[in-house]
Amino acid sequence: MEITIKEQHNKGYAVATIDGKRAGVMTYSIPKGDFIIVDHTEVDSTFKGQGVGKELLYKVVAMAREKHIKILPLCPFANAMFKKLDAIKDVLKS
C-alpha cells in the first residue's frame, strides 16, 4: 500500500493506492492555527477490512507530528480511532 498526502490552499487529503488502484482517501481542512480537521474517510468496498482507513490515519498523524500540529477528528472513523488508539493521542486537539 502506498499513501501520499497532497495539500492545496486550505484543504488536504491522504490517498491510499494498492496495485495502482485507489483504495481509500482521508480528507482534512486546514484552518488558521496549529491544527487540521479530519472530516472524511472513505475506503473502496474492494479494500474494506484490509486496514486502509487505519493506515491513512497513521500517515496523517505522522504528518501532524512532523509539522507539530494537532488533529481535530470530526470524521466518525477518525474520532473512533482516536478514542481506541492511545499511541496517536499525542496529536489529538483537546
Number of domain units in the chain: 1
| pLDDT value at residue 19 | 95
| pLDDT value at residue 33 | 84
Distance CA 54, CA 62 (A): 12
Residue at 6 is within a domain: yes
pTM: 0.96
N-term to C-term CA, the chain: 31
Q: What is the pLDDT of residues 9-20, one digit of tens each?
A: 999 999 999 999
| pLDDT value at residue 32 | 87
User: What domain range is 77 assigned to?
Assistant: 2-86
Q: Kindly report the CATH number assigned to the domain that includes residue 71.
A: 3.40.630.30
Averaged pLDDT, 19-24: 97
pLDDT classification of 47: cutoffs 50, 70, 90: very high
Cell of 13: 487529503
Instruction: Write out the DSSP string of 31-90.
Output: -SSSEEEEEEEEE-GGGTTSSHHHHHHHHHHHHHHHHT-EEEE-SHHHHHHHHH-GGGGG
